[in-house]
Chains A and B, each alone.
Chain A
Amino acid sequence: MLFMTAMLGIVMSNNVIQLWLFWELTSISSFLLISYWWHKSEARKGARMALAVTGAGGLALLGGLMLLGDIVGSYDLDVILASKAIIQSHDLYELALVLVLLGAFTKSAQFPFHFWLPHAMAAPTPVSAYLHSATMVKAGIFLLARFYPALAGTEMWFLLVGLTGLATLLFGAYIALFKHDLKGLLAYSTISHLGLITLLLGLDTELATVAAIFHIINHATFKASLFMATGIIDHETGTRDMRKLNGMWRFMPYTATLAMVAAAAMAGVPLLNGFLSKEMFFAETLHQQVLGSMSWLIPVLATVAGAFAVAYSARFIHDVFFNGDPIDLPRTPHEPPRYMRVPIEILVVLCILVGIFPSFTVDSILSAASLAVLGEAMPEYKLTIWHGFNLPLLMSAMAVVGGLFIYVNRKYLFQFQASLPTLNAKKTFERAVLSVVAWCQSKINSTENGSLQRYLVIMLGVVLLCAGWPLFEMQQLAGSMPRTPVDVHNAIGAGLLIIGAIATVIWHRSRMVALLMLSIVGLMVSVLFTRFSAPDLALTQLTVEVATIILLMLALFFLPQHTPKESSSLRVLRDLGIASTIGVVVASICYAILTRPLNSISDYFVANAKTGGGGTNVVNVILVDFRGFDTLGEITVLGIAALGIFKVLSRIPLFMPASDSEGRPWARERYPILLASISQSLLPLALLVSAYIFLRGHNLPGGGFIAGLVTSIAFILQYMAHGSNWITERFDINYRKIIASGIGIAMFTGVGSWFFGRPFLTTWFDYFDIPFVGKTELASAIVFDLGVYLTVVGATLMILASLGNMTSDAPKKEVNI
């Protein structure tokens, strides 16, 4: 079904990328079908080979189609097909052509990519009949025919398509003769017929194209019936080896007749459909002038190939159904049940009908199909059995006679073939695959040595290259904005910031000190936000800073207090170099941005915050309204991080230091009474403050994020003062539920606006008179903010409490976090 859908998709897509997608789908489904008997290594290898070859071709095709789309400026098939002139005069025409052809050739098993098709015959016989003779390999031909109007008509098209087709035709026909396996014979004959069709398309006359399409139809009918006949023989006798299968005529005369008719059609015997298209083919080879004075070569080679086709068809008939007695067959053959023969009967009747009454049967289909390929005027052509005595007929006759002659004298040819060195495509392919794998493995080993530091250095180096290089191309670093003068406060702030940062680095070995220094940096950053008119940011930074430092301190309890000295001086020097270069680059970019005039889209937000979002604090309105979807995503990330931490910390093999790094035991008094009482009385105050910050957030600095952080810090203080057991005794909150309800509330507020016919997350607001409070604005955004608040509280507390819980050495009861 998948395969059918994909094939239909290829045929019906009008977008080249879509076409490519279905194309790949056929590759994958055929891979699955070939490996149907997954327990056989032969089937698995064949499937892998088919996938590798067609997949590689598919990539080439994608490249070609992209190029075509780029040249034309549209990925619509109609547009591409209509712009032949543009494509062919473009510089990249050759590349695009070669890539598209590669895709088509690999799919249709054209020489030299033919080798996967015989190995794909490891599939069950009906699958082979369906996939590899009738449909999938025709996809490549279809592609050639589809792009014929756009790509064909040049010297290069002929050289590539025609010669590939010719080579495939000859090669396939020649090899088919020597195959002992029935399906192998059919596989190579399929390759050869595909070559014939390709050659016809390459000949590049309109009649040749008609002939190609005619042959596609004919080939599908007779080859499918042959495959099914093979299936029956395989089923009845248990072997497909032609050296054992002899004299089947006596056991299954009915099947034999059917198969013989089909094989005759393949050979191109008159009164059958194969004859007609072959005749057209011979006629076309005579009419072309593409090789200049050497053009006579093509009809001659075509006749030779025709002779081989007759020879292998004769072998199929003679070796299987006559030629003495069968040699130790696994089973005694007899006529197959009726229903197995029905499909063959239908197809063979079709062969004969088309062969005898061509104008009734296929004329209309053929002209419709040819019209689709050629696009415009149909050439004059006649489908009749008898064209009179002419050169093509003579060629046919020569082919039949020559073929029979070859078959009769096949012993000598077989000996000759046996004396040639055998080239096993499968072995070669596997060796190639192995060497590629080995090469990749060695590359992986050399780049991926498991050192995080090395990866980081490489990454940072790339960053440096990409970010630093454009700086050199800039004319001038500083922009045109007037500089603001430095005042004392700023200078002091910046000085503290820089000192804090450098001190962190200097003392990074003793971790506690480094952490304290880092907190200076964080503090200075929040002061900086205040200074530069960003009170919301300052509040957030301050509260986050508190939470971060508490978290890191807790973490230090489980980590060594000091960092051992490991890096060599050279390494430190290298790292210093990298670090300072990156710092310089970033600082330069920052400076360049700062000194250029600002052209912001914020005017829109400022103008619409009050009227559209109903709040005067633009930052908060942006968060909960204009970019509410972002915020929703961000609180989800927060929630996920908290849950992840919870999971990582559960069932951790605990490492609890009994004393600090200098061997002193921990203080006996775990929860100082002073801290406990003060923090307890502070809690309601802190909650009040956070409620206030939360409520005013829409109009004045504040909002859900900050209020949430303030609340969390108040609770963290309780944890620190009393320990987690004390807290859980008093109120047993499940933080996971808080996070979930927070995200849920935010989500439903957004969905709510749908019920009023508005887009997701539209804010509704109005003013109400509430007794004792006065005229108050109520906005739906506040509900959204409530969701944000709950998520922040839940996530922060969950992170800190789950870490803090681990330090409580009280008998572990199931703590509900």
Chain B
Amino acid sequence: MELLYASCVGVLVSCGVFLLLRARTFPVVLGLTMISYAVNLFLFSSGRLTINKAVVLGTGADYADPLPQALVLTAIVIGFAMTAFVVILAIRGRADLGSDHVDGSPVKSAAVVKEQK
């Protein structure tokens, strides 16, 4: 089970990183979302995998670790806010620059670099 869980996290990270390295904004946003899933799972796993343990006081003797859960809960919400912010930035970038390439536009950016030199 642990091996399976770890490989799930690994696959998510790999896919996220690959998407992160694409040149257009939307895949990058998808990649970030994927990585945030992976990070949440990773953090969650620091409480170890517990099946059918009590989460509410008084319903059992053996409790699942509440601390990682609390931390991940806020991380999920913040992750949403960040994803939203990035995607809105992407839209704004598209609207302002006319391209959804991460560097603005690939042709334009080379010209800008030359100008700076």
* Residues of A bordering B, CB below 8 Å: 445, 449-453, 456-457, 460, 481, 483-486, 490-491, 494, 497-498, 501-502, 504-505, 508, 511, 514-515, 518, 521-522, 525, 528-529, 531-537, 540-541, 544, 547-548, 551-552, 555-556, 558-560, 563-564, 566-567, 575-576, 578-580, 582-584, 586-588, 590-591, 593-595, 598, 600-602, 605-606, 609-610, 616-620, 622-623, 627, 630-631, 634, 637-638, 641-642, 644-645, 648-649, 652-655, 699-701, 705, 709, 792, 795-796, 799, 803
Contact = CB atoms under 8 A, between A and B. Distances in A.
B95 A803 contact: no
Contact count band on B: 35 or more
Contacts of B76: 537, 540-541, 544
Contacts of A536: 55, 69, 73
Given A552-B29, A594-B45, A616-B57, A799 B70 contact: no
18 contacts: A456-B20, A501-B12, A514-B30, A521-B12, A521-B37, A532-B50, A533-B53, A537-B69, A548-B84, A580-B14, A582-B13, A582-B14, A602-B63, A606-B63, A617-B57, A618-B66, A634-B78, A655-B95
A358 to B, nearest CB: 66
Nearest to B10: A587
Given A504-B34, A578-B17, A638-B77, 6 more contacts: A537-B44, A540-B73, A555-B87, A594-B2, A617-B55, A631-B74
Interface string B56-88: 111000011111011011101111111111011
Contact of A531 (B13, B33, B51): B51
A497 B34 CA distance: 11
A501 B15 contact: yes
Contacts of A618: 55-57, 63, 66, 70
Given A555-B91, A567-B22, A645 B52 contact: no
Nearest to B28: A452
Given A532-B50, A587-B6, A559 B57 contact: no
A576 B14 CA distance: 8
B77 A605 contact: no
Contacts of A528: 41
A638 B75 CA distance: 11
B18 to A, nearest CB: 4
Nearest to B101: A566
B49 A532 contact: yes
A504 B14 CA distance: 12
Nearest to A509: B27
B74 A484 contact: no
Contacts of B91: 555, 558-559, 649, 652, 803
Contact of A579 (B14, B46, B50, B55): B14
B69 A591 contact: no
A591 B3 contact: yes
A540 B77 contact: yes
B89 A450 contact: no
**Of B19, B24, B66, which is in contact with the most chain A CB atoms at under 10 Å from its CB?**
B66
A583 B44 contact: no
Contacts of B2: 481, 483-484, 591, 594-595
Contacts of B92: 648-649, 652
Nearest to A806: B91
A575 B17 CA distance: 8
Contacts of A699: 56
A405 B90 CA distance: 81
A743 B102 CA distance: 34
Contacts of B24: 560, 563-564, 566
Contact of B26 (A490, A556, A579): A556
Contacts of B88: 555, 645, 648-649, 799, 803
A369 to B, nearest CB: 57
Nearest to B66: A618
Contact of A544 (B7, B29, B63, B77): B77
B46 A593 contact: yes
A795 B83 CA distance: 13
A591 B48 CA distance: 10
Contacts of B65: 598, 600, 602
Contact of A460 (B10, B17, B47, B67): B17
Given A518-B30, A579-B17, A529 B55 contact: no
**Of B51, B65, B84, B117, which is in contact with the most chain A CB atoms at under 10 Å from its CB?**
B84
A432 to B, nearest CB: 23
**Chain A interface helix/strand/loop/mixed:** helix
Contacts of A567: 22-23
B55 A619 contact: yes
**Of B4, B34, B42, B74, which is in contact with the most chain A CB atoms at under 10 Å from its CB?**
B74
Contact of A515 (B6, B30, B57, B79): B30
**Of A537, A541, A576, A652, which is in contact with the most chain B CB atoms at under 10 Å from its CB?**
A537
B80 A583 contact: no
Ranked nearest first, the 4 interchain pairs of A and B with the lowest CB-CB distance are: A587-B10, A583-B14, A591-B6, A618-B66
Nearest to B94: A559
B1 A619 contact: no
B115 to A, nearest CB: 11
A534 B55 contact: yes
Contact of B87 (A552, A587, A606, A617): A552
Given A452-B103, A586-B10, A609 B57 contact: yes
B31 to A, nearest CB: 9
A533 B89 contact: no
Contact of B13 (A511, A586, A799, A803): A586
Contacts of A502: 11, 15
Contacts of B57: 606, 609-610, 616-618
Contacts of B80: 544, 547-548, 796
B42 A590 contact: yes
Contact of B113 (A450, A490, A587, A588): A450
Nearest to A575: B21
B45 A590 contact: yes
Contacts of B63: 602, 606, 618
Nearest to B4: A494
A478 to B, nearest CB: 8
A655 B94 contact: yes
Contacts of B89: 648
A568 to B, nearest CB: 11
Contacts of A594: 2, 5-6, 45, 48-49
Contact of B8 (A450, A494, A623): A494
B58 A637 contact: no
A505 B91 CA distance: 21
B94 A558 contact: yes
A705 B73 CA distance: 8
A483 B20 contact: no
Contact of A558 (B12, B14, B95): B95
Given A560-B100, A578-B17, A532 B64 contact: yes
B82 A559 contact: no
A533 B9 CA distance: 18
A125 B15 CA distance: 68
A42 B91 CA distance: 50
Given A605-B66, A616-B56, A590 B26 contact: no
Given A450-B109, A536-B69, A578-B17, A644 B74 contact: no
Contacts of A637: 78, 81
A653 B95 contact: yes
Contacts of A609: 57, 66
A70 to B, nearest CB: 34
A517 to B, nearest CB: 9
Contacts of A544: 76-77, 79-80
Contacts of A456: 20-21
A534 B64 contact: yes
A582 B33 CA distance: 17
Given A532-B44, A601-B67, A490 B19 contact: no
B1 A483 contact: yes
B11 A491 contact: no
Contacts of B95: 558, 652-655
